Structure 1
Amino acid sequence: MMKQRLGIIDGIRGFSLIGILMANMLIFQYGIWGMDELEHFKLFAGDEAANIWLKIFVEGSFMPIFMFLFGYSMIKMKEKLEENGGKVKRHFARRFFLLIGLGLLHSTFVWEGDILFSYGCLGLIMMIFLNRKPKTIFIWAVTLLILTSFIGFGNMMETPEEAERIDSYVQKANLIYADGSYSDIKDFRNSGEDPLGLPPAAYLFIILLTPFMLCPLFLFGMYAAKMHWFTQPNEERKRYVRLASILIPIGLLLKSIPYLMPNSIWAGVAEILGAPLLAIGYIFAFALLYAKGVNPVFLKLFENVGRLSMTNYLLQSIICTTIFYGYGIGLFGQIGVLNGILLAISIYGLQVISSHFYLKVWKVGPFEKLMRIGTYLKWSGNSKKKTGTAVAANVQVEKQA
């Protein structure tokens, strides 16, 4: 059962990486601010339709899958640590601080779209839910999902001054990313230049709000793990069908509202709420493949990518910045949205092949190994099992802490 469960989780994680790469391709090609200002770049036939397709089917709905699995894995790791007599909170604290450090290095020296730093910070917050009951976690998840969705209420428009600053920033970024040296791009990325010109209080509010925006999917993942979902695919098949058939259409409809009714005051709410609902629908749709008896060789390809998820995620950054930035090939803003999607599929295909052959030689990826060493403080990267008495004592101490 454990082997099958891990296969599903790794498979879903590997599946999420293709969507994450396609969505991130907009940032690699145009920058965080430029991805919504495509009029400044060279576009080709079909790019407008491809961009809308990305916004509805992909953007904002694959990264939450990673968040869901992060929460799911936290509970499974907690169970393993308790079984082996490890100190749960200490192990998690080391793991999340290491994740924060990797995220800072990634964002400073490689790419501006890093997620590892946020995951590490949020992981520290999520530790308060480790010993909560499933019902409590579910209530928190639903409540936060609804409340944070209303941040998009009113779909506020940019002021002319903000629009002018953003245009100027995007044009400047276009020149630097396309033609600049590594040091030019790194200095620009870390300059702290703000095209919106918001006051410090606004950024403090954003920093305080961000964990609440990200929490729901983490909590849903923790809930699923505590309820032992994805452990018996054949027995859970009806759940997969029911949730996928409900959540995918609802998610797609909500994410389409900004394009069907662009002037609606509810467009922002619909988009923010639709993204995570679609993500959860995708999770159950992919899990259904395990209950339908799909060729295990096909599923194993996704599992291999998922087992090396951190390594593959960081490699995507290195490969794409080399392709698009001036110190590499310098194709920033040149290939278009549709070709960017095709490039993402090609890169992912190479990662499927490389992951397959890598795991024939090694069992763990280099960055996954680093995380294990930092978590368990052992070169083997594994927790040491203790006697039954020691295990019971440690579990009791953790629950009282």
Structure 2
Amino acid sequence: MNNRIGFIDFLRGFALFGILAVNLPYFSKPMYLVASLGENSNLLDSIGSWIVAFLFESKFYVLFSFLFGYGFFIQLENSPETSSGNVYFRRIFGLGILGILHGIFLFIGDILLSYAILGTVLWFLRNKNSSWLLKFSLFCIILAAFCRIGMSLAEGEIKSQLEADLPRLLDESRKAYLGGFWESSIQRTKDTILSIPFLVLYQWPSVLSMFALGFYAAKNSVFSNWENTKPGFKKLFPWMLTLGILGNFIYTLHSRHILPENQNVFLKILFAITDTFSAPALTFSYVYLLGNYYHSEKSLADRIWFEVMGKLSLTCYLGESLVCSWIFCGWGLGYFDQVGSYIVLILTVPIWVFFGLFSFIWKRMFSLGPMEWILRSWTYWKAIKIL
């Protein structure tokens, strides 16, 4: 791709680490236990869960969504073929198929299908001006706040309905994921279907907001010249960092049940609003700090590792799911629901490093990652040269 921006690939590589940290608990135990009151039995595991909540949860799918919108605009600019509706929607359809297969065979929290569905909306935003895109992004993030308020107010009713069936659901989940490949796939399909309302209400408005914001950023060449962008980001950084730290501290206390349960309606609404806006604020802070690091001499030795993973982000994302499924499912090593949150968090590092090494070696031989090659060949309806 012409005029490829190295920092965008760098951010994708970084985002893969954060996404893996958030996803790993859902591979390692029944989804009903993740972030539940009874998830952890000791302080070390609780600390691991708190770290994930504070630093990673809700921050990295936001970043990846922003980068998706940014990348979409770059593709339109650099490839006349991509501006064809047939080519674009063939790509989106292929992404959706990968998402469905991912959700059935590897991971209940797949985001690719959501990207494919919401990506159809992004197509119709391609000719909107910058002001409109910012207003639309703000509208979607406000919509996200209202959706999360609704979910928060309904939380008590949902928990009461789930409580009676929880022992049976946990037992079914453990047996299935510790069984064979097809047993785990059937259970994963059930869990994926059950998670759809959460994905739609909790993630979709924020994803669409970040799509539009990423489109705006690319249209205005925000990352093409960091020295021009840095002063504006620097002014916002103290405010975003303060909101990000305080808001995510509150989110961690609330989501990990450190605060008293059964809060009043006002507090529930406050927590929902705080969660909605503080996660993107901390993500902005990450981007600003990483931008300064990337554009300094300090990053010269290691930026290649992040960049190469960013170029193979689809392969790495699906590959991480394959490795995690192998570690925890019965058709692999069979560690499902046998490893605490602290160890699960530590596992993030070697898995991410493994795919960094894989990406580095692969890119020395091939121009595209294997999954990138499949999707691009489908998109253009011809076998793309990979050497």
- Which residue number in structure 1 is paired with residue 164 of structure 2? 164
Question: For residues 66 and 126 of structure 2, what CA distance do their matches in structure 1 show?
Answer: 14
Question: For residues 137 and 149 of structure 2, what CA distance do their matches in structure 1 show?
Answer: 20
- Which residue number in structure 2 is paired with residue 57 of structure 1? 55
Q: 1:89 aligns with which of 78, 85, 94?
A: 85
Question: For residues 280 and 166 of structure 2, what CA distance do their matches in structure 1 show?
Answer: 28
- Which residue number in structure 1 is paired with residue 120 of structure 2? 124
Deviation per residue, 1:239-295 (Å, 9 max, x gap): 343344332331221122241766323112211222222223322221222233323
- Which residue number in structure 2 is paired with residue 399 of structure 1? none
Q: Which amino acid aligns with 2:122?
A: M
1:246–1:281 contact (8 Å) kept in structure 2: no
* Runs of 4+ with deviation above 6 angstroms: 192-196
Moved more, 113-122 or 165-174: 165-174
2:108–2:191 contact (8 Å) kept in structure 1: no
Question: For residues 208 and 19 of structure 1, what CA distance do their matches in structure 2 show?
Answer: 22
1:166–1:195 contact (8 Å) kept in structure 2: no
Question: For residues 48 and 209 of structure 1, what CA distance do their matches in structure 2 show?
Answer: 24
- Which residue number in structure 1 is paired with residue 32 of structure 2? 33
Counterpart secondary structure, 1:36 = coil
Question: For residues 19 and 342 of structure 1, what CA distance do their matches in structure 2 show?
Answer: 12
Q: 2:73 aligns with which of 75, 85, 94?
A: 75
Structure 1 unaligned regions, length at least 5: 197-201, 383-401
Deviation per residue, 1:320-350 (Å, 9 max, x gap): 0000011111111222111111111111111
Between Structure 1 and Structure 2, whose CA radius of gyration is higher?
A: 1
Question: For residues 27 and 317 of structure 1, what CA distance do their matches in structure 2 show?
Answer: 11
Deviation per residue, 1:20-53 (Å, 9 max, x gap): 00000111112332213362x6744411122122
Question: For residues 55 and 5 of structure 2, what CA distance do their matches in structure 1 show?
Answer: 26
Structure 2 unaligned regions, length at least 5: none
- Which residue number in structure 1 is paired with residue 302 of structure 2? 298
Counterpart secondary structure, 1:31 = coil
- Which residue number in structure 2 is paired with residue 226 of structure 1? 219
Question: For residues 341 and 59 of structure 1, what CA distance do their matches in structure 2 show?
Answer: 12
Quote the offset at 1:381 in angstroms: 6.2
- Which residue number in structure 2 is paired with residue 248 of structure 1? 241
- Which residue number in structure 1 is paired with residue 145 of structure 2? 149
Q: In 2 relative to 1, CA 134–166 (structure 1 residues): closer, same or farther, beyond 3 Å?
A: farther
Q: In 2 relative to 1, CA 222–87 (structure 1 residues): closer, same or farther, beyond 3 Å?
A: closer
Alignment of 1:284 onto 2:288: yes
Deviation per residue, 1:113-171 (Å, 9 max, x gap): 21111111111111110110011000110121123213233733323333222443233
2:103–2:109 contact (8 Å) kept in structure 1: yes
TM-score computed with the length of structure 2 as normaliser: 0.88
Alignment of 1:22 onto 2:21: yes
Question: For residues 8 and 72 of structure 1, what CA distance do their matches in structure 2 show?
Answer: 12
2:147–2:202 contact (8 Å) kept in structure 1: no
Counterpart secondary structure, 1:305 = helix
Q: In 2 relative to 1, CA 360–175 (structure 1 residues): closer, same or farther, beyond 3 Å?
A: same
Question: For residues 347 and 353 of structure 2, what CA distance do their matches in structure 1 show?
Answer: 10
Quote the offset at 1:11 in angstroms: 0.2
Counterpart secondary structure, 1:132 = coil
1:57–1:252 contact (8 Å) kept in structure 2: no
1:112–1:189 contact (8 Å) kept in structure 2: yes
TM-score computed with the length of structure 1 as normaliser: 0.85
Report the number of matched residues.
Answer: 370
Quote the offset at 1:210 in angstroms: 6.0
Q: In 2 relative to 1, CA 340–244 (structure 1 residues): closer, same or farther, beyond 3 Å?
A: farther
- Which residue number in structure 1 is paired with residue 175 of structure 2? 175
Question: For residues 113 and 194 of structure 2, what CA distance do their matches in structure 1 show?
Answer: 22
Percent identity, aligned pairs only, is: 26
Alignment of 1:13 onto 2:6: no
Quote the offset at 1:192 in angstroms: 6.5
Question: For residues 193 and 127 of structure 1, what CA distance do their matches in structure 2 show?
Answer: 26
Q: 1:356 aligns with which of 342, 360, 364?
A: 360
Q: Which amino acid aligns with 2:97?
A: G
Moved more, 264-273 or 136-145: 264-273
Question: For residues 370 and 206 of structure 1, what CA distance do their matches in structure 2 show?
Answer: 26
